[in-house]
Amino acid sequence: MSFYTLKMSIDSQVLVTLNEIEHFYWTKKVLGPIHLQIKNHGLHAIIGANGSGKTTLLKIIAGLLTPSLGEVSYAKAAKMKVSFVSHKILPDPHLSVHEFLTYQAMLHQIEPALYTSSIDEVCEKLGLTEVKHQLIATLSQGYSQRLLLAMALLSRPELIILDEPTVGLDPLVAKSFLDLISELKKDHLILMSGHHLDEIEKVADDVTILLDGKVAFNNSLSEALRLSQEAQCLYLKTNANQDKLQELANSFEINEAHEDQSYLLRPIQKMTMDEASHQLADFLIKADLKVHAIYPYQTTLEDIFKKVHKQ
């Protein structure tokens, strides 16, 4: 029996509300309980390790999957248009771009008289005009992803859901695709999942981190980074051995950074970054250590992600 319900959201600043959502595959619980509100603007990123429930959650929000328990509320329950795009969607390779989009226009019940203008509009917006009459089988990965995005835009949705949209794209093509998404989020709410945290940090306004099927973190990205920066630290790359690091631990909390022999140092006592830098420099000089790099460290989304998983 399903206890899933759908109703109108009251808060005009929130487009989607998930209340106590849970989902099971047979007897295995894969999601929840989740309570989450998604604002009606910008790009909201859903991130997490493999198996954390990202795709399941996105499908529930899109209405493609009925949760086992809980309630999903939409600000425009009867009228809101939602488009779901996954890298796993495979259009018929024997169709041309124009033929595929015409078929999608029929599915979206667009008036036949508007087929051409609607297709031309999305093709121009996404840079597909020059390949509009090309077979899908001959498209590059970058153009193939743009085609899926064009499919999503045809219905003029309020909410676009992108499930790992840059999977398989080389860095330059991925950057170009993210630039498109940055433009689209000005006119649509975009909900996106992904594994490349550096990419997500460039485009996301809000971030939710899933851990074992539950919300472990939910905040605006800028606010999360600002709060993390308040607990400032220094980046140090040095050849210090464990004995020297132990001495340094009397004055600094030490965490390993992303590279070998590199560390993030946070002063144990309250002091300014200038004071901490001078104290660290004095120690390094007295200890006669070789220093490869030292500078104030800027927190990243990857740091927040790792901290959430450690907790």
Q: Where are the domains of the chain?
A: 231-310
Looking at residue 122, what is its pLDDT? 93
Asked whether the predicted pLDDT for residue 53 surpasses 60, the reply is yes
Asked whether the predicted pLDDT for residue 299 surpasses 50, the reply is yes
Looking at residue 74, what is its pLDDT? 84
Looking at residue 230, what is its pLDDT? 54
Number of H helices, E strands in the chain: 10, 14
Give every CB contact of residue 163 below 8 A, 6+ residues apart in sequence.
54, 55, 58, 84, 85, 86, 87, 88, 192, 193
* CB atoms near residue 204 (< 10 Å): 24
What's the rounded mean pLDDT across residues 106-135?
A: 92
- Residue 76 pLDDT grade (very low, low, confident, very high; cuts 50, 70, 90): low
Share of the chain above pLDDT 90, in %: 48
Shortest CA distance to 306 belongs to which of 47, 51, 31, 53?
Answer: 47
Note the pLDDT tens digit of each residue in 266-290.
888 877 778 888 888 888 888 888 8
Calculate Rg over the CA atoms of the chain: 24
Distance between CA atoms of 54 and 47, rounded to whole angstroms? 7
The mean-pLDDT minimum among 141-155, 253-267, 295-309 falls in 253-267
**One-letter amino acid identity for 215?**
V
- CATH numeric code, 231-310: 3.30.70
What's the rounded mean pLDDT across residues 6-35?
A: 81
Asked whether the predicted pLDDT for residue 3 surpasses 60, the reply is no
Looking at residue 6, what is its pLDDT? 40
pTM score: 0.79
Distance between CA atoms of 148 and 242, rounded to whole angstroms? 52
Q: In this structure, are strands 69-74 and 5-8 parallel, antiparallel, or unpaired?
A: parallel
Do residues 259 and 242 lie in contact, with contact meaning Cβ atoms separated by under 8 Å?
A: no
Looking at residue 5, what is its pLDDT? 38
Q: Could you tell me the end-to-end alpha-carbon distance of the chain, in angstroms, rounded to an integer?
A: 35
Distance between CA atoms of 233 and 257, rounded to whole angstroms? 11
3-state helix, strand, coil in the chain (%, to 5): 35, 30, 30
Which segments of the chain does DSSP mark as H helices, in order?
54-62, 97-107, 115-126, 141-153, 171-184, 197-203, 221-230, 242-248, 273-286, 301-310
